[in-house]
Amino acid sequence: MLALQIPEVKPFMSKLLLGDTFDRFLIVEASVTTGFTAVLDGHIHPEFYPEEQIPNHEAGYLFWAQLRPVCLSLIRGQQTPLAFQITFRLSDSNMHRLLAQTPGEWEASEVAGLFLNIKYTGGTLTATTATSLRRFSLDKSLDQTWDTMAKKFFLQKGLPFEEVV
């Protein structure tokens, strides 16, 4: 697990809510606390839609691009939210690419998900990584590769961070 503190909140929030920086991540869950708390579940219910109108999704989750406008409408306003939390999941196609770069012999079927959690509370913005496996393993190579890739992603997207030890 990697913990990053985001020192420049406004530019990060702009890229998160107004730009397409995180659009290819799947959204597992988001919660926003203002005068109330709104919780958004990123699981899609395809039975709700006519077959020809089912939104683009992967592994049962919507992409951030699809829920970003809803989160923006909850966060945008005169006052800063008290808190929010967003749990992203790396898309399957990106996970396959990451597995190809990981030492060891990891199979996609062994990985339940690679997650990026964004949390804002008390004026502090943090990002943490997490790995969920379908089997027990002492091999931390996947965790290390995911952590490295997350830092590389932040650097490529111009998102400054300070690693929390």
Q: What pLDDT digit, counting tens, does each position of 45-103 carry?
A: 989 989 888 888 988 999 999 999 999 998 887 788 999 999 999 999 999 999 998 88
DSSP code at position 148: H
Distance CA 84, CA 162 (A): 20
**Alpha carbon separation from 9 to 142, 146, 161 (Å, rounded):** 29, 23, 10
* Residue range of the domain that includes 122: 3-45+53-163
Q: Residue range 144-160: average pLDDT? A: 97
What's the confidence (pLDDT) of residue 78?
79
Q: Residue range 132-136: average pLDDT? A: 93
- How would you write 61-90 as a 3-class SS string? EEEHHHHHHHHHHHHCCCCCCCEEEEEEEC
Over pLDDT 70: what percentage of the chain? 100
Confidence label for 15 from pLDDT (cuts 50, 70 and 90): very high
How many separate domains does the chain show? 1
One-letter amino acid for residue 97 of the chain? R
Confidence label for 2 from pLDDT (cuts 50, 70 and 90): very high
What's the confidence (pLDDT) of residue 99?
94
Q: Residue range 4-25: average pLDDT? A: 96
Least Cα distance to 71 among 21, 127, 33 occurs for: 33
Distance CA 95, CA 147 (A): 13
